[in-house]
């Protein structure tokens, strides 16, 4: 079988796990986290001409997000780490050849589920690794292959997402809805901004346990020279966008939290807010009722909500 002259194959994958202690606890869903494990991989790919390139990818193994479950946190984290190791061992011998876009797609579509099934075969049903977790375990390898592919061709990888490098158009990857437009003849490059912005707004996450004002302080806060209170963070970093973590199961607390942070945002010149209900909401009405109340009783905070 002939391959596109600019295609590549995965030659090596070297995996590292990085334990990160969090400065302050973060409440995510029903879980309070004080540490996270990041998975980092170094991938070597080889082009059709024998040239090689190295790429790096990294992601936090976000256990609470990818696998909400009563199974103990450490057991779930261990499973994610084991499955990530399994991917790192499998990829170099896989044999896939193509553009980084093709390699990621083809692995997810044709290989990942089989690996997941094998991994889960001897595990109790309640301890089965879910597919979202499997996708996140693969994501760092996907990132690394894209990174390496750009280096292989001596250009930013975003400049390789057109027909000069990618032999298959989007119709090979996406199925349109019935009666919808066709993706035939279209490539990822057709949907990218030609002149990419040089700066992007940063969203500062306001955790559900973060101190908003002095009344929230407990005396256990870190004394390391960095801010603790929200106003101080806004002043220190020039924050303009705040992502507000809510509980999702305590409407009164969530409403008050949005009002308090909305007040601070007006007083400090913050432009945008977003409300994150923390993956615990079970009914849309819960969110709608809070938003409706904000719209009526605190319209200035409501107007700052860019998205939910």
The DSSP result for 11-72, as a single string, is: EEEEEEEEEEEEEEEEEETTEEEEEEEEEEEEEEEEETTS-EEEEEEEEE--HHHH--SSS-
pLDDT at 240: 96
Taking the C-alpha atoms of residue 168 and residue 97, their distance in angstroms, rounded to an integer, is 13
3 state DSSP class of 291: helix
Q: 3-class DSSP state for residue 187?
A: coil
Query: What residue spans define the domains of the chain?
Result: 8-191, 203-307
CATH class of the domain whose range is 8-191: alpha beta
pLDDT band with cut points at 50, 70 and 90 for residue 179:
confident
pLDDT at 192: 95
Residue 227 sits at φ, ψ, to 5 deg, of: -65, 160
Give percent above pLDDT 70 in the chain. Answer: 99
pLDDT, averaged across the chain: 95
The pLDDT, as a whole number, for residue 1 is 46
pLDDT 10s digits, 101-137? 999 999 999 999 999 999 999 999 999 999 999 999 9
Contact predicate 97/8, CB 8 Å:
yes
pTM for the predicted model, two decimal places: 0.91
Cβ atoms of 293 and 254 within 8 Å: the answer is no
Q: Which residue has the higher pLDDT, 25 or 259?
A: 259
Give residue-wise pLDDT tens across range 42-87. Answer: 999 999 999 999 999 999 999 988 998 999 999 999 999 999 999 9
Task: Say how far residue 147 (Cα) sits from the centre of its chain.
Answer: 17
**Per the structure block, which two tokens stand in for 252?**
């009164």
């Amino acid at each position: 079988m002939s391959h596109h002259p600019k295609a590549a194959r995965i030659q090596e994958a070297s995996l590292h796990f990085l334990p990160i202690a969090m400065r302050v606890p973060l409440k995510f869903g029903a879980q309070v986290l004080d540490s996270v494990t990041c998975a980092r991989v170094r991938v070597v790919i080889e082009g059709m001409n024998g040239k090689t390139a190295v790429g790096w990818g990294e992601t936090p193994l976000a256990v609470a997000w990818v696998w909400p479950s009563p199974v103990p946190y450490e057991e779930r984290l261990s499973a994610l780490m084991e499955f990530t190791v399994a991917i790192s061992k499998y990829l170099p011998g896989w044999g896939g050849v193509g553009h980084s876009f093709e390699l990621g797609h083809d692995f997810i579509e044709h290989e990942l589920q089989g690996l997941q099934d094998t991994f889960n075969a001897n595990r109790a049903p309640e301890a089965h690794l879910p597919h979202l977790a499997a996708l996140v375990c693969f994501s760092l390898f996907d990132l690394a292959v894209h990174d390496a592919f750009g280096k292989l061709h001596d250009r930013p990888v975003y400049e390789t997402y057109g027909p000069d490098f990618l032999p298959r158009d989007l119709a090979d990857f996406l199925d349109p809805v019935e009666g919808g437009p066709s993706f035939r003849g279209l490539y990822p490059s057709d949907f990218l901004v030609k002149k990419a912005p040089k700066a992007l707004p940063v969203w500062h996450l306001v955790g559900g346990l973060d101190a908003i004002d002095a009344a929230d302080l407990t005396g256990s806060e870190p004394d390391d020279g960095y801010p603790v209170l929200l106003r101080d963070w806004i002043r220190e970093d020039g924050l303009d966008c705040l992502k507000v973590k809510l509980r999702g199961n305590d409407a009164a607390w969530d409403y008050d939290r949005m009002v308090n942070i909305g007040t601070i945002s007006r007083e400090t010149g913050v432009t945008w807010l977003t409300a994150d209900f923390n993956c615990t909401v079970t009914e849309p009405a819960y969110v709608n009722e809070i938003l409706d109340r904000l719209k009526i009783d605190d319209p200035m905070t409501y107007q700052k909500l860019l998205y939910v």
